[in-house]
Amino acid sequence: MDAKGSDMEIEISQIKPSSFQIKFRNEFLKDKLTQQIKQEGQIIPIVVRFTENGYEVVDGNVRLSIMKDLGYATIDCNIVNIDKVGAMKLAIELNGNVNELDQISI
């Protein structure tokens, strides 16, 4: 597992949402993030892994969705070389400080 990764700009159309999802239910924070991206653009890259079906989000489903809705064609990504279990562990670790975590559905 190589969770360090490399940075790259990828076309949004080449990225699939995570096959597992950490539930994010705080619409107020999502709205704030949308406004921030509208005003300042993307600040933090999303984390993706490469699978046999292309790129899959490990961390950043909400940012990907927002940027897609705002009409962005590309998104800054950190590409990590990890399997699905490693991706799930990394997603939990990266989102561990978020108070609105609900549950993971696989």
Nearest to 9 by CA among 48, 66, 36: 48
Question: Which segments within the chain are labelled E, that is strand?
Answer: 2-11, 15-16, 21-24, 46-51, 54-59, 74-81, 101-105
How far is residue 65's CA from residue 1's CA, in Å, rounded to a whole number? 27
For the entire predicted model, the pTM comes to 0.81
CA distances from 72 to 4, 24, 40, 83, 91 (A): 26, 22, 13, 28, 24
Spatial distance between the Cα atoms of 25 and 2, rounded to a whole number of angstroms: 30
Q: What's the pLDDT at 27?
A: 82
pLDDT digits (tens, 9 = 90+) for 18-68: 877 666 667 888 899 999 999 999 999 999 999 998 999 999 999 999 999
